[in-house]
Structure 1
Amino acid sequence: MNVLSRRVRRAAVLSAVCIVLCAPSALSAPLLPSPPVAALAYTVTVNEPSGAPGYVYYSNGVSAAALVPGVAQALAPLPAVAAANIVLDKAGHEVWRYTPPPGQDVSNFRTQTYQGKRVLTWWQGSTVAGHGSGADYIADEHGNIIEKISAPGISGSDVHEFRLTEDGRALITSYEEVSADLTAIGGPKDAKMFDTVASVVDVASKRVLLRWSAAEHVPLTDSTEPGLLPGASTYDPFHMNSIALDPHGDLVISLRNTSTVYDVDIETGEINWQLGGKRSSFALEPGVEFAFQHDAEFADPTTLRLFDNNSSGRTTLGLSDVQWIRLDVDAGRASLLRKQVHPANLTAYAMGNAQTLPNGNTLVGWGSAAHISEFTPSGQLVYDAALPLGTYRAYLSEWAPSA
């Protein structure tokens, strides 16, 4: 197939994606999410000198469209969207790539630190019904795999989180299908649902230090999306998508389908507080509104930062943004410090993250909206790239892997 033919085919797929996403029956509100394809190739549109130096890390593949029926199947045959972990310089030139074995996806590709050394980490496996079944990998600076970790359970590690702590632990998500009585949310009495689990694992010994089940701690009635995922036969009332540590060493857990962020005692598993959703522990001051969020973590000891999707694909409430929320735990009040939207008014129905950079700027992966951007603290756009398919998360690192 020549270059022109490939471009025509990709353009046709982009049109098909738009049709699927923009069909009136696909949404319960008139607002529409942005399509998961933004360019035929990684295309840099803004690259100001005031941006942070470094290399862009992201994962390519069909998982960005996993929640939308028909889109993943339409995109899968195209070479431009083959599953891969990719590193580029900020001009958009590829400097490193990892391609998994045929039939496997990769996601959540980034640099981290393990045993005092800088490493590459990612998830690898199969993507089903909006989550993953596989394992987490740690590789050295050359891409040689040195550790493979799987969360306890039949399905292994999920795609959403693999975060290393300074003391050698890993924070890992996993999904398990369980029997459940769903009459409390209008479902059948004898049904199947996905429990979603946060595990804390000692990487060196593979010992599980904590296993926190959402089903054991969060009422089904807290779900803001009680329906089935598109194309699935199992309810997903919680949908965990990030785990981080709070300033005290406890867990910060984001559940997309309750539109809530939870602070969980890492020793007992008890919920210390919850932000947003139906039973917030905080009085929310003007501007603190988010839904179907991703990547909740502390930017400083009193400020929680999250990626507010504001859309589930079925329900779209407004534009996506990054929010910095000041938490006064003693007073039980949450106030908005700042909010960042994309100049193109993007709405990501899935995925997304934000990263604080050493120069104070913020890198934002716009998830299914298929952009990667960098903003100054005042909100100036200093870097922007359009992607051939959305990416779960994006990161900037000052170093790149070597051969």
Structure 2
Amino acid sequence: MTEAKLSRRNLLLGVGGAVVFTAAGAGAGYAIADSKDDAETPQAAPQAGPAKYRSRPDLRTLPDVTITTPANATAPGYIFLTPASGAGLWGPLIVDDKGSPVWFRKVPDPATVAIDFKVQQYQNKPVLTWWEGTIGGTGGQGVGQGEFVIADMSYREITRVRAAGSEQADQHDFVITPDDTAIFWVYDPVPYDLSAVGGPADGVLHDGVIQEIDIRTGKRVFEWRARDHVALSESYAPLPQGDSAHLPYDYFHANSVGLDADGHILVSARHTWANYKIDRRSGEVRWRLGGKKSDFTLDEKSKFSWQHDFRRRRDGSYSIFDNGAGITKEREESRGLVFKVDEAAKTVTFVQEFLHPKKLSAPTQGNFRELADGGSFIGWGQQPYFTEYAPDGTVRLDGHLPLDNQSYRAYKAEWAGAPLDQPALGLHVDGGNVVVSTSWNGSTKVAKWRARAGGQPQALTQTAEAARTGFETTLQLPGTPEYVVAEALDSSGKVLGTSSAIPVRV
């Protein structure tokens, strides 16, 4: 991420003794002013409305995350979200168990959104990955055109992964394999005779295409097309009608891809109500689970519809996020569903379900993942909630974005971020004292903050310390020194990073 750096050339003198500056790691104008002059200083308000974080006014519309069930013996790690709303501040967001932001990056305008933000391994190192692009589609079904971002522990982009050929990558999933290849979906609109299912002979079909790409070279190493293996008659989705009849028919609607324990590919297709195991070498469908042509008999509690996120769990069972609702509503509540598959007996047996206390129904999106300690984590998709469960199904953390938001998926994972930019600093004078507001977007090791002040940047003898209190921490210095510096400290008191020296008065 490109960040603005503070220098003396960035300093602009405002009215009433206010100083407006561009803080390191921010890329936006930040104000240092006596509070009575703030309203009279137009440079101090680059956007309308009050700043949520004085040290980072560019994040003024970052959505609040509310924790309704406080963390209770939760798995270690942070929560990974991609808030989306009409406010337009879309991007990957990390928060802690209290809902406090840890890192946020706004994705580029115009009309670009971020989807599926998570921690993965690339070249044996932890990385962040997410999708950026635009989303359209027919019949209210989201189809993406974009690319995937891979960033390192300092939030620097390592590379972007794009689909091979003329297509663009769909947003629904992105999996880095142990071979450092990437597996994801492409939605390919192809001319197709739809008359066999009641559509036009000169119709268009949205084909679900798996691509496996070597990340380093960009070379395609595997491709699979749904229309070669799954008949249109297996779909539960209605054809586009009337004036929309020649729009692409999204009969399959792939929404997850991953690897089974044996290395073969697992697929979820929302519109066929089925999960598939695909031979990674031949491309043949090894089995179908669910839908109109299931190779297995499912017991009543294992039946699902309009599902997402088909995964293998460590004990050999499988899980999905069973929406139970979509184009039609088949269940009153969405759920996380765990079941066992007996390939010899061709049976599927219910193991466990995870429901939300508010009996949520999510017609679109959502995910369900096993945590490292045996617990589980659900992102409720179209509903702006996320929930962490103990292995026995007890809720041990629950929270939500603002109710006008949603996050395609939500994850929990351990992460250690070490940004390369400087901490950000905002100052204002209040009652003859200097109030110091400081933050460091993305740092996960800061335990407390120290403010140092004095008459010259090289002579800062006055100090104040405070424990970190969320994304932004506020300290107070008596009097009005000439310069202030903020230092980020770890739990042992070691200095992790230092802001630029900011003049209080000019």
Is residue 374–residue 382 contact of structure 1 (8 Å, CA) maintained in 2? Answer: yes
2:215 is the alignment partner of 1:203: yes
2:183 is the alignment partner of 1:171: yes
1:250-277 deviation per Cα after TM superposition (whole angstroms, max 9, x unaligned): 0001111101000000000000001000
Is residue 302–residue 328 contact of structure 1 (8 Å, CA) maintained in 2? Answer: no
The equivalent position to 1:89 in structure 2, one of 70, 85, 96, is: 96
The amino acid that maps onto 1:97 is F
The equivalent position to 2:290 in structure 1, one of 252, 261, 276, is: 276
Find the residue that maps to 2:223 and give its secondary structure.
Answer: strand
2:194 is the alignment partner of 1:182: yes
**After the TM superposition, which of the residue ranges 324-333 and 390-399 deviates more from structure 2?**
390-399
The equivalent position to 2:67 in structure 1, one of 34, 37, 44, is: 44
Query: What's 2:127 paired with?
Result: 119
Find the residue that maps to 2:228 and give its secondary structure.
Answer: helix
Find the residue that maps to 2:92 and give its secondary structure.
Answer: strand
Query: What's 1:303 paired with?
Result: 317
Query: What's 1:333 paired with?
Result: 347
2:384 is the alignment partner of 1:370: yes
Q: Equivalents in 2 of 1:380, 1:221: separation in Å? A: 40
2:57 is the alignment partner of 1:59: no
Q: Equivalents in 1 of 2:148, 2:188: separation in Å? A: 17
2:101 is the alignment partner of 1:98: no
Deviation, 1:365, is 0.4
Deviation, 1:208, is 1.2
2:150 is the alignment partner of 1:138: yes
**After the TM superposition, which of the residue ranges 98-107 and 252-261 deviates more from structure 2?**
98-107
1:211-241 deviation per Cα after TM superposition (whole angstroms, max 9, x unaligned): 1101111000000113339997321000111
Query: What's 1:398 paired with?
Result: 414
The runs of at least 4 consecutive aligned structure 1 residues that moved more than 4 Å come to 229-232
Judged with a 3 Å threshold, the aligned counterparts in structure 2 of structure 1 residues 109 and 117 are, in CA distance, closer, same or farther, namely same
Deviation, 1:155, is 3.1
Is residue 237–residue 327 contact of structure 2 (8 Å, CA) maintained in 1? Answer: no
**TM-score normalised by the chain length of structure 2:** 0.67
Deviation, 1:41, is 3.0
Deviation, 1:300, is 2.9
Query: What's 1:19 paired with?
Result: none
Query: What's 1:361 paired with?
Result: 375
Deviation, 1:400, is 4.3
Judged with a 3 Å threshold, the aligned counterparts in structure 2 of structure 1 residues 252 and 60 are, in CA distance, closer, same or farther, namely same
Query: What's 1:192 paired with?
Result: 204
Judged with a 3 Å threshold, the aligned counterparts in structure 2 of structure 1 residues 112 and 270 are, in CA distance, closer, same or farther, namely same
Find the residue that maps to 2:79 and give its secondary structure.
Answer: strand
Is residue 164–residue 219 contact of structure 2 (8 Å, CA) maintained in 1? Answer: no
Is residue 229–residue 235 contact of structure 1 (8 Å, CA) maintained in 2? Answer: no
The amino acid that maps onto 2:374 is G
The amino acid that maps onto 1:392 is Y
Is residue 367–residue 390 contact of structure 1 (8 Å, CA) maintained in 2? Answer: yes
**After the TM superposition, which of the residue ranges 46-55 and 376-385 deviates more from structure 2?**
46-55
Q: Equivalents in 2 of 1:61, 1:386: separation in Å? A: 13
The amino acid that maps onto 2:238 is P
Is residue 72–residue 397 contact of structure 2 (8 Å, CA) maintained in 1? Answer: no
Q: Equivalents in 2 of 1:228, 1:256: separation in Å? A: 17
**TM-score normalised by the chain length of structure 1:** 0.84
Identity between Structure 1 and Structure 2 (%): 32
Find the residue that maps to 2:233 and give its secondary structure.
Answer: helix
Bigger relative contact order (CA 8 A; separation at least 6): 1
1:257-272 counterparts in 2 under 5 A?
A: 257-272=271-286
Unaligned 5+ segments in structure 1 are 4-39, 63-74
Q: Equivalents in 2 of 1:141, 1:392: separation in Å? A: 23
1:18-38 deviation per Cα after TM superposition (whole angstroms, max 9, x unaligned): xxxxxxxxxxxxxxxxxxxxx
The amino acid that maps onto 2:406 is G
Q: Equivalents in 2 of 1:226, 1:213: separation in Å? A: 21
